[in-house]
Chains A and B, each alone.
Chain A
Amino acid sequence: MSKKPTIELRTSPHAHAGGDVVRIMRNVVYAMLPICAFTIWQFGLSALALLIVVTATCMASERLFNRLSSQPSSLGDWSAAITGILLALTLPPGFPLWMGAVAAFAAVALGKALFGGLGMNAMNPALIGRAFVQAAFPVAITTWTPAFFEGRFTSFVPTTLTPPFLQPPVISDWVTSVTVDAFSGATPLALQKFEGVQMDTLDMLLGTTAGSAGETSALLILICGLYLAARRMLDWRIPVLVMLGAAVTAGIFFLIDPVKYPDPLFVLLSGGLMLGAWFMASDMVGSPVTPLGVVIYALMIGVLTVIIRLFGGLTEGVMYAILLGNAATPLIDQLTQPRVFGEQRAGK
């Protein structure tokens, strides 16, 4: 026998599945990196700067709130980084950096710290940040930048470097002056809603359109999301059911009036639906824990997204749909408590 060992006393179980929070979070970050790379390739320096500023501000704010509440740093759980990257991906690529920082601060302050940190936040912090700037800077957030403009790796979109607290310059002249291949200034959603033009499906699938930094390539987002689902770090039911809900709702309207309403495929591939479904609606913190609850929640988001898109004043509905879903989660959870083993329910 070797020399006297240290005897540990722990409570059972003395075994653990092993996967931990940090690993899950880190993988979510990995899964978003290709999307980030794509958006940088698409929009150049401006997108890169926006990603860095927003993510850094999120992490700095997280640290600040840790300090204020005398908590140890929670940066190690990566959730602040995820919020930052997600938020940056939902903003227009030429979004003024200072406004990006405001969005990031709002995301962490209102979306997370206010509730008590990771796991306590009722709603997705990135979307809170995005909703905040949507209200605060309605013009800047709807100013889209063309993808693949020439010189994107050497110069910024003029709006990017807007000095703090100033509104960005009007860039329609700049937009017409830059050379791009096959460019259309508005996003596919705006084109469809306000001008009745439908974007080519292949373009949207591959991401050669205008849009928020990270919501343009449906295909890439799908692949990255599938990676997470395959590693069991994401409940695939949520994105799939969100898309199903959206497609079915859109399909009904399309059948009623194919001229006025877009076809379901377009609905699925345009705007933030893909990103929202795979990376935001699926956020564990804001989604129900009961099996039935997950189904209701996801379908509800899908349906609401389309309704808001078609009938609301906004082109993009997924953000509010997810926030509504998050808000409904506690109620859904409560109403869908699973039947406990051996429990006899009235009427059964």
Chain B
Amino acid sequence: MGLFDLFSGLKTFAHGIHPPYHKDTADKPIRRLPFPAQLVLPLDQHIGKPAIPLVKKGQEVVRGEPIAKADGAFSVPLHAPATGRVRGIELMPTPKGPKSDAIVIDVYDGSTQEVLWKQPREMSELSPTEAIQAIQDTGMVGLGGAAFPSHLKLTIPEDKTVDTLVINGCECEPYLTCDHRVMLEHPQALMRGIRYAMRATGTSQAIIGVEDNKMDAVEILRDHLPKGGSIKVESVETKYPQGSEKMLIKSVLNREVPAGGLPADVGVVVNNVGTLAGLGRLLPEGEGLIERVITVAGPGIVKPGNYLVPLGTPIRHILEQVGYEGSRTEFILGGPMMGPAVSAMDTPITKGTSGLLVLNEPSIEEESHKIWPCIRCARCVKACPMHLNPSILGQMAAKRKYEEMAEDYHLNDCFECGCCSYVCPSNIPLVQYFRIAKAINREQAA
């Protein structure tokens, strides 16, 4: 933590970067896009075991109906985002890269926006175990991008006790504003979701961390806080990666998650605002997760905004609706710091997709593609939020000393935030080196 941060009293963590934020869509209310003609629903949209299909080719499905069930505890179900007919289960491109099995649905013309399949219930009558089951039934996962099943996240391991629920409203990735809009437009649903999550985890306090470039959201949330003070809103410094779990816990609670550990090790469980607002809306209705808000933005987009789209919507459909231009383009799912680039226009929006960015030449830093040798400028060292030494890690990666990287230089603590690559004047693709190194180490261990 810099001297300045200490004196300013601003809640934050040490290191990190301040990229241009481009939050131009922050004032664009959430709008629904027309349904596409076809939906592509990969069975492995979440972390864990792929879901098991419940439907067959040619079968008719209604909006909201379960179409795949969870494969045990480490999995979540899928629901039909629109009424239509199952075309089949096909290998389709996914945001993760490799193709995987997906349920493809031909959507009926004029398919209704009303959810036809639901099981309303009184949440306060459920026991914690029943509540966890109800959460799994919604198919909810971390909507911030991680896509980790929410019911698992809210299940506290036997040997741990947690006292605080931290809600991540940072949205520290440039361009993205969907969480911001959710906080502004659905504060009640969020508060409900927070209460459900607190009950499920047995936590007595909840802290919503919001970056201080969204003070309007901070105010609205404060207006909606329940009496009693169990839920608090804290504004934190606008800095990337403020929204990573470990950094946010450090910022709002000054607790440091041990290396290799989980938030539960310091008594915390973290959820994203979008996820909890989603649970707050879905749980009482007994509905499944079938749509999400994404930010569509970037210099190549004609009508940027925050759009509510059914899961499985191919990016082609979105781009046709909002229009895009540019001769050399990069399509990114999520934010520019961590989101993957995709080339297949059939790639669908999945549960973990928070945005669709179209970056054109000017923003794809043109001049700086040449990779120079490391000049040991230490900028990466000063940027790494995990306090690693990307400079030396990068040099070791070039020599393929992957095991030493993990053993002596904490490679496995790298969470691939990209700060090091962002600042490197030599344009060394450090994060990419680290991803490869980790993948190779994993393979060797297997």
Contact = CB atoms under 8 A, between A and B. Distances in A.
**Is chain B a partner of chain A in the same complex?**
yes
Interface of A: 1-3, 5-24, 77, 117-120, 235, 284-291, 294, 333, 337-344
B372 A7 contact: no
B325 A16 contact: no
A290 to B, nearest CB: 7
Give the bracket for the number of chain B residues in contact with chain A: 35 or more
Contact of A284 (B17, B257, B339, B376): B376
Nearest to A289: B378
Contacts of B331: 7
A235 B378 contact: yes
B246 A342 contact: yes
Contact of B337 (A13, A119, A120, A290): A13
Interface string B365-386: 1011000111111100110011
B327 A14 contact: no
Given A14-B359, A285-B375, A24 B343 contact: no
B149 interface: no
Given A16-B368, A342-B256, A7 B337 contact: no
A333 B392 contact: yes
22 contacts: A1-B319, A5-B328, A7-B330, A9-B330, A10-B364, A12-B340, A13-B421, A13-B422, A16-B427, A17-B17, A17-B19, A19-B425, A21-B375, A119-B374, A120-B373, A284-B378, A285-B376, A287-B376, A289-B381, A338-B381, A340-B259, A342-B386
Given A12-B336, A16-B368, A343-B410, 17 more contacts: A7-B343, A8-B341, A11-B429, A11-B432, A12-B332, A13-B421, A15-B422, A16-B365, A17-B19, A20-B367, A21-B426, A24-B425, A119-B376, A289-B377, A289-B389, A290-B381, A343-B413
Contacts of B410: 340, 343
B337 to A, nearest CB: 5
Interface string B216-238: 00000000000000000000000
B337 A342 contact: no
A15 B431 CA distance: 13
A261 to B, nearest CB: 35
Contacts of A3: 327
A327 B117 CA distance: 71
A12 B425 contact: no
A202 to B, nearest CB: 35
B258 interface: yes
A13 B429 CA distance: 9
A284 B246 contact: no
Contacts of B357: 14
B174 interface: yes
B324 interface: yes
Interface of B: 17, 19-20, 174, 246, 250, 256-261, 319-320, 323-332, 336-343, 357, 359, 363-365, 367-368, 372-378, 381-382, 385-389, 391-392, 409-410, 413, 418, 421-423, 425-427, 429, 431-432, 435
B246 A341 contact: yes
A43 B337 CA distance: 53
Given A7-B331, A17-B423, A77 B336 contact: no
A340 B375 contact: no
A21 B372 contact: yes
B184 to A, nearest CB: 25
Nearest to B388: A340
A15 B336 contact: yes
Nearest to A10: B341
A6 B327 contact: yes
Nearest to A235: B378
Contacts of B389: 289-290, 333, 337-338
Contacts of A20: 367-368, 372, 425-427
B256 A12 contact: no
Contact of B258 (A8, A235, A286, A344): A344
Nearest to B361: A8
Contacts of B375: 21, 24, 118-119, 284-285
A119 B413 contact: no
A119 B359 CA distance: 32
A14 B389 CA distance: 21
Contacts of B432: 11
B254 to A, nearest CB: 13
B422 A17 contact: yes
Given A235-B378, A285-B375, A285-B376, A15 B386 contact: no
A341 B247 CA distance: 9
A235 B410 CA distance: 26
A294 B336 CA distance: 32
Contact of B325 (A2, A117, A338): A2
B364 A8 contact: yes
A348 to B, nearest CB: 11
Contact of A341 (B324, B386, B421, B431): B386
A290 B376 CA distance: 10
B196 to A, nearest CB: 29
A6 B325 CA distance: 11
Contacts of A77: 372
Contacts of A13: 336-338, 418, 421-422, 431
B365 A18 contact: yes
B11 to A, nearest CB: 16
A12 B339 contact: yes
A340 to B, nearest CB: 5
A285 B426 CA distance: 12
Among B319, B330, B377, B410, the one with the most A-chain Cβ atoms within 10 Å of its Cβ is: B377
A333 B393 CA distance: 13
A339 B387 contact: yes
Contact of A14 (B261, B336, B426): B336
Contacts of B343: 7, 9
A290 B381 CA distance: 7
Contacts of A21: 372, 375, 425-426
B353 to A, nearest CB: 14
A120 B330 CA distance: 34
B150 to A, nearest CB: 24
Nearest to B256: A342
A2 B363 contact: no
A17 B337 CA distance: 12
Nearest to B339: A12
A12 B367 contact: no
Contact of B341 (A11, A19, A337): A11
Contacts of A22: 372
B326 A2 contact: yes
B319 A118 contact: no
